[in-house]
Structure 1
Amino acid sequence: MTDTDQTASGLARETALLLEGLGASLKAGDAIVVRSPIDGSVLARLAEAGADETTAAIGRADAAFRDWRRVPAPKRGELVRLLGEELRIHKAALGRLVSLEVGKITSEGLGEVQEMIDICDFAVGLSRQLYGLTIATERPNHRMMETWHPIGVVGVISAFNFPVAVWSWNAALAFVCGNSVVWKPSEKTPLTALAVAAIFERAVARFRAEGGTAPDGLLEVVVGGRASGEALVDDPRVPLVSATGSTVMGRAVGPRLAKRFARAILELGGNNAAIVCPSADLDLTLRGVAFAAMGTAGQRCTTLRRLFVHYSVYDRLVPRLKKAYGSVKIGNPLEVGTLVGPLIDERAFTAMQAALAAATKAGGTVTGGARATVAGCEGGFYVAPALVEMPEQCGPVVEETFAPILYVMRYSDFDEVIRLHNAVPQGLSSSIFTTDMREAERFVSAEGSDCGIANVNIGPSGAEIGGAFGGEKETGGGREAGSDSWKAYMRRTTNTVNYGTTLPLAQGVVFDVE
């Protein structure tokens, strides 16, 4: 046993205690090794669910759906309300587990659980608002309307960087809409998923104790790799799959779902940009850019990766940014005051270094980016966030590197910077810093940002659950969480009721038979 492979390490012991306290059930094995990015130590070794186990889980979820869809929506909302209560009770423990398994600083680990609580609150209200329309009809003594019905088993494939929150955006809505859920978490972060499954079972037990009817199999968690993912994507009993991950993953998942005419909610890459205009409040801009670019060690899909600064304020803002980059505390995310924790693994670090080398070759000037040494955490991959001044938008700037790299470029013309802003394949999130109303309004107009999220005087990250989350182009086009995203988890039926004694046809068609 090596120093970085100690299943009896301090972090492993704490993880085991947290999982035990939350009631999580682990299937031990050797196929999936879960390491903490904090120090590289092994937290657990798990068995891997293959295609057969995933198919069996889908079968149980399908049977559960057939019972759950008969439960009135407000009653389904009561189960989600109880889930929110259980998450409040166990917020500290689950948030700590997120930090241990993902390497997030304490406030971000707790913040992820708060997102789960918030979406539960949203979904509870939604359970009484699954509204259809009454539609004007041209035929006398007829009524036309639309109704919404549960769709079936919802597959959720989540990524390592938000191991539980993104699941909840999907699952809370899926449950109140009358669906069951099969969840395949990232192989890098399955422990938090198993903990959430245990918390959900606590909510189910309370729901049943209060007289509610909840079938077994309402939530199935499969800890597996490619085989389980393919089984989930290909199974005809799963009419909807929500998948979060890279664009490469989306290119594999999307066509497979389309082949069998299933629905896809794809949340893929983001190469998010911000524009700093001449009138920008630079103090506010500094804070907004710093969090958006360095928060979560650059491992958010909404991380700020491109910054266009007007030439008139460039020399006032960029030196201040460099100072902030040089002073930010990098270290163990469990320690008070740490703002930047580790990258998820060595592969992420290697990709970051390759991107910085490519940027240098393209004429960029790099500040930061070196590996950082953190006492007691030598097995982790800590890195100084990198600020790269680029002569133009080229090479690695148009690609997403999932690491804390901010490419900074000057601009002079507003029309041109909008064009550059949109001239990348991704289209998730965006922002502009300005006090000029015309610039702000144009940015959020049809001829402005082409992203699914467009912000003014805040960074591109830190979305709230009340709005629909998702993006365009290679980001996949999916929408999760708030607004009317619930409609993706239901099927729509248009109904026409004839309460008269004649049969007039639409469009004036006459078809009389004796």
Structure 2
Amino acid sequence: MDFLQETGILTRQSGVSTGTKWQAGEGADIASHSPVDGKLIATVTGASAAEYEYLVKTAEAAFRKWREVPAPRRGEIVRQIGDALREKKQALGRLVSYEMGKSLQEGLGEVQEMIDICEFAVGLSRQLYGLTMHSERPQHRMYEQWHPLGIVGIISAFNFPVAVWSWNAALAWVCGDVCIWKPSEKTPLSAVACQRIVAEVFERNDVPEGVSCLLSGGREAGMWMSADGRVPLVSATGSSRMGQSVAATVAGRFGRSLLELGGNNAVIISKDADLDMALIGTVFGAAGTAGQRCTTTRRLIVHKDVYERFREKLVKAYGQLRIGNPLDEQYHVGPLIDKAAVETYLQAITACREQGGRFIVEGGVLEGAGFESGCYVKPCIAEVRPDFPIVQTETFAPILYIMPFSTIDEAIEIQNNVPQGLSSAIMTLNLREAEQFLSCAGSDCGIANVNIGTSGAEIGGAFGGEKETGGGRESGSDAWKAYMRRQTSTINYGKKLPLAQGIKFDI
């Protein structure tokens, strides 16, 4: 496959790098099988504890140099990374699609997100601003400034194998930080390809080794960073259970964690909704990426007056979904990441039936020609009650739960009554309903949309959620502040030293 050659993927390679330099990878082997066809793509060697120590020491040395580079110059280098990603967009997008299983258009879209965040970071590099405050003391000036933290550890998930890393890395780099990236062991090759692209740009610009480090490995590699006091910030994307472990470990050493965890996202369909528009947002939100987005639509709350009509539209639309090789653009839905995910999908369907759910679109595993990997499943829909335990749980698969409501207050209560709080949406042409949904008494999620679905977010806004989603914010807005430390400074330009609050201390 040409895209493997273009991204430099070898049959066997190291996943441990400080930039242009690659270590042997003396840890466990990580085999990357494509869920598209079940074939082994390549084997990556993970890091040993000794190699991790080498990465950290190299990163520490690099930070002392990188923080002194003017922020606009750091931004210019990140701009060049964006250009390099443009050149490799087709090849990298195909690799992401083949290794992870998402559709080609989504794979290309993920690379475009990387390009977009680089552009955002370039502008940000000239806007790392603080405030100037008036002092209560004469001939004094107060101001705040922001300094880089140091090493930022990034733990990314398989469903967005490159984009979420770039959200963190691009911002961290312009802020003056250095990064150690621990990618998902399910998608190590996409990370290797990104490291090579970045390393070429850094080498051209004489950026020291260690500004971008790659740490391939299993759970233990993430825990090394979480427990390491030399890593002041750990940004982790994954399950809520994983996030609890990371947060507890990092907090135990007074470090910072930035968490992007589970979602159990709902769309409310009002009786005043444009049902055709709502249908598009719902189907893509529920079936896109085979239900493996943290922003996937998992619950559909439909007003009783339009419930039957919308359910009929939804069933008809699901009947038109085409499932198959994600590299072929005629297909809407690709495979789940692996057979373990398929088993979780089947267990959720069984649990739903046992709890009283009724499937109006049946699920199941696809077999036969084109489905040899055993990872292709049918997107399905079940009528449920909102209090079913399975409905309270995030299942990373294309299972949509549908339920009716009578009043907007009831719908919002159902929407909020789950442990997770990432993304939410309401489909309505009723201004009062829309404003209530967006008010402090409305959605309790970090993302709340009107007349668009739950899935998909622009890099200009801060991305993240509340409750068991972790509370972190990445990407746009002022998310950059997570990667820096705030310092308040007071300058006395007078000839006396008055104390604050008028305190007298004569000696």
**Would you say the 8 A contact 2:264–2:418 is kept in 1?**
yes
Residue 409 of structure 1: aligned partner: 403
Of 180, 184, 187, 2:185 maps to 187
Distance verdict in 2 for CA 1:492–1:24, change over 3 Å: farther
Deviations 1:268-314 (A, max 9, x none): 00000110111000000000101101000000000000010000000
Distance 2:129 2:226 in 1: 29
Q: Identify the residue that residue 136 of structure 2 maps to in structure 1.
A: 138
Deviation at 1:418, TM superposition (A): 1.0
Question: Aligned pair 1:167/2:165, yes or no?
Answer: yes
- Which residue matches 1:112? 110
**Cα distance in 2, alignment partners of residues 304 and 351 from structure 1:** 17
| TM-score with structure 1 setting the length | 0.94
Q: Which of 70, 84, 87 is the equivalent residue of 2:85?
A: 87
Q: 1:348-398: per-residue Cα shift (whole Å, max 9, x none)?
A: 111111111111112211112111236234124101101111144312000
Within-5 A mapping of 1:418-433: 418-433=412-427
Matched, 1:268 2:261: yes
Contact in 2 for aligned 1:49/1:225 (Cα 8 Å): no
**Which amino acid in 2 is paired with 1:389?**
E
- Please tell me whether the aligned partners of residues 332 and 341 of structure 1 are also in contact (alpha carbons under 8 angstroms): yes
CA distance in 1, matches of 2:173, 2:374: 38
Distance in 2, matches of 1:415 and 1:296, equals 31
Kept in 1: contact 2:12–2:43 (CA 8 A): no
Question: Pick from 54, 74, 77: which aligns with 2:75?
Answer: 77
3-state SS of the aligned residue for 2:305? helix
SS of residue in 1 equivalent to 2:165: helix
Structure 2 contact 9–42 (Cα < 8 Å) conserved:
no
Q: Give the superposition deviation at 1:22.
A: 10
2:125 matched residue in structure 1: 127
d(CA) in 2 for partners of 1:24 and 1:348? 26
Q: Which residue of 2 aligns with 1:7?
A: none
Check whether the contact 2:148–2:175 (CA below 8 A) recurs between aligned residues.
Answer: yes
Amino acid at match of 1:446: C
Runs of 5+ consecutive residues of structure 1 not aligned to the other structure: 1-12, 209-213
Deviation at 1:20, TM superposition (A): 2.2
Aligned 1:146-165 pairs, distance under 5 A = 146-165=144-163
State the match for 1:220 in structure 2. Answer: 213
Which amino acid is 2:408 matched to?
A: F
Q: CA deviation at 1:203?
A: 1.3
Match of 2:21 in 1: none
- In 2, the alpha carbon distance for the partners of 1:183 and 1:262 equals 17
Residue 343 (structure 1) aligns with: 336
Q: Determine the C-alpha separation between the residues in 2 that align with 1:335 and 1:42.
A: 20
* Map of 1:53 onto structure 2: 51
Q: How many residues align?
A: 496
Distance 1:23 1:72, change over 3 A: farther
Deviation at 1:205, TM superposition (A): 2.7
| Corresponding residue SS for 1:387 | strand
Of 206, 226, 230 in structure 1, the residue corresponding to residue 223 of structure 2 is 230
Q: CA deviation at 1:227?
A: 2.0
Aligned to 1:5: none
- Give the counterpart letter for 1:231 in structure 2: W
| Contact residue 374 and residue 382 of structure 1 kept, 8 A | no
Task: Check 1:396–1:487 CA distance in 2 against 1; reply closer, same or farther (3 A cut).
Answer: same
The amino acid that maps onto 1:206 is R
> What is the Cα deviation at residue 328 of structure 1?
0.2
User: Whole-Å Cα distance in 2 between the matches of residues 65 and 416 of structure 1?
Assistant: 52
Task: Note the C-alpha offset of 1:16.
Answer: 4.2
Assess, with a 3 A threshold, how the Cα gap between structure 1 residues 135 and 374 changes in structure 2: closer, same or farther: farther
SS at match of 1:119: helix
Q: Is the 8 A contact 1:393 1:409 kept in 2?
A: no
Aligned CA-pair RMSD = 1.6
Aligned with 1:256 (options 241, 249, 253): 249
How far did 1:231 drift?
Answer: 1.0
CA contact 1:326–1:368 (8 Å) conserved in 2: no
TM-score by length of 2: 0.95
Instruction: State the partner residue of 2:20.
Output: none
1:18 aligns with 2:6: yes
AA paired with 1:218?
A: V
Paired-residue identity, %: 58
SS at match of 1:312: coil
Structure 1 counterpart SS, 2:226 = helix
State the SS of the aligned residue for 2:136: coil
> Can you list the C-alpha shifts for 1:399-456, whole angstroms capped at 9, x where unaligned?
0000001100000022122111111100000000001111101101111000000000
Secondary structure of the 1:302 match is coil
Runs ≥4 in structure 1, deviation > 6 angstroms?
21-24
